[in-house]
Amino acid sequence: MSWNAVDSLDDARAATESLLLPPSWRTWLRLVVVTFFVGGVGGGGGAGQAAQGAVSSPSPPGTALHSLDLPPVPTLAPERVGALIVVIVAITVVLALGYVVTGAVMEFVLVESLRTRQVDLRRPFRQFLVPGLRLFAFRTLVLLGLLASAAVPVALFIGPTPVAGAGWRVVLLPLLLAGVGAVWLVGVLVLRLTTDFVVPTMVGEGRTLLSAWRRFAPLCRAAWREVALYLVVRLVLGAAAAVVVGLAVGLGALVVAIPFALVGGGVVATVGVQGVGLVVLGVLAAGFTLLVAILSVVVQVPVVTYFRYYGLALLGRLDERLDFVGRSS
């Protein structure tokens, strides 16, 4: 018996190779931008942070912290500290919101780029801005529902004890936790299926999100074994890819750290960890962090491309009218 979820692996590999090889700096650069929002930089974050910690310049032997000639830290009035905190929180929220919204739009940009094999940013971003906002709203509603379900056992645990006593919590709390776990599993699966199958349906057939779900849901029910196998294979391959990406970013970070460590060591030996030397070390640390972050995204480009092609290939095999990449057979 042939499984489409397994056969689609070769389709995804061939499609990924055809897009990324031979390397085109324009294609890769644009995919790096898309991957930053779609895949994020978290794939190699742990390795990158470990490498960053390894390259941090130590204080020279015999130098105590109290002996550093550091400039005095200015003091702020309590009301100014509160205002500063509010400003920082507001800026952080705005940046995070902008990142998440842009990431939702970039989901469509990525699918359109893989479908046409022409990676572009500005035109598809404008084209799919409204569908991206709808996807963002859908994801937000699902997330709020998941958080609300998680709040139920928390409220039960810390809520007032009823007159009948607290023994009922011992019985109901495990059941509620199991129910919350089931709700979260369904929510995660809905988000995964939306990204991998519903978004391509929206792009390929010009549907709205709910219309695309109505188009995909009967297909998912009819081929639920294929979809389930796809999710399992994607989970296993995703875990393996995360390990490979982490190792690659870690090794790359060690290589990148060499010149930064040499320059930082020279600064510590000549200028010291004070004044200009401290500023230079801060710039070196920021530059190293930025390069490792860029390296992390670059390494994730083929991984993100492959997994998205994998979903597109299976979708086309399940219904030839939804074959948007022409790889199904």
Residue 329 lies in a domain: no
Domain membership of residue 88 (yes or no) is no
The CA-atom distances, in angstroms, between 41 and each of 33, 35, 172, 260 are 11, 8, 40, 21
Write out the two tokens for 326: 């022409």
Determine if residue 275 is left, alpha or beta; phi over 0 gives left, psi from -120 to 50 gives alpha, anything else beta: left
Quote the longest CA-to-CA distance of the chain. Answer: 74
Is 81 part of any domain?
Answer: no
**Nearest by Cα to 195 from 74, 113, 325, 106:** 106
Nearest to 199 by CA among 73, 77, 114, 300: 114
The pair of structure tokens assigned to 296 is 């992390």
- Residue range 223-251, pLDDT digits in tens: 999 999 999 999 999 999 999 999 999 99
- How many domains would you assign to the chain? 1
Distance, CA of 53 to CA of 103 (rounded, Å): 29
pLDDT of residue 168: 64
pLDDT at 56: 39
* Residue 204 covered by a domain: yes
pLDDT in tens, 86-111: 899 999 999 999 999 999 999 999 99
Which residue reads 């799919």 in tokens? 128
Q: For position 59, what pLDDT does the model report?
A: 41
| 113 alpha carbon, distance to own chain's centre | 19
Identify whether 21 is part of a domain: yes
Q: Is the CB of residue 207 less than 8 Å from the CB of residue 215?
A: yes
CA dist 244 and 42 (Å) reads 13
Tell me how far apart the alpha carbons of residues 259 and 262 are, in angstroms, rounded to a whole number: 5
Range of the domain at 173: 4-60+95-159+167-322
**CA–CA separation, 143 and 125 (whole Å):** 24
pLDDT at 167: 62
pLDDT at residue 71, rounded to an integer: 53
Residue 52 within a domain: yes
Quote the pTM value.
Answer: 0.82
Q: Which two tokens stand for residue 39?
A: 């895949």
The CA-CA-CA angle for residues 316, 298, 252, to 5°, reads 135
Could you tell me if residue 189 is inside a domain? yes
pLDDT of residue 81: 77
User: Cα–Cα distance between 292 and 65 in angstroms, integer?
Assistant: 29
Q: What is the pLDDT of residue 74?
A: 57
Task: Please indicate, yes or no, if residue 75 is contained in any of the structural domains.
Answer: no
Residues of the chain with pLDDT under 50: 40-68, 70, 163-164, 328-329
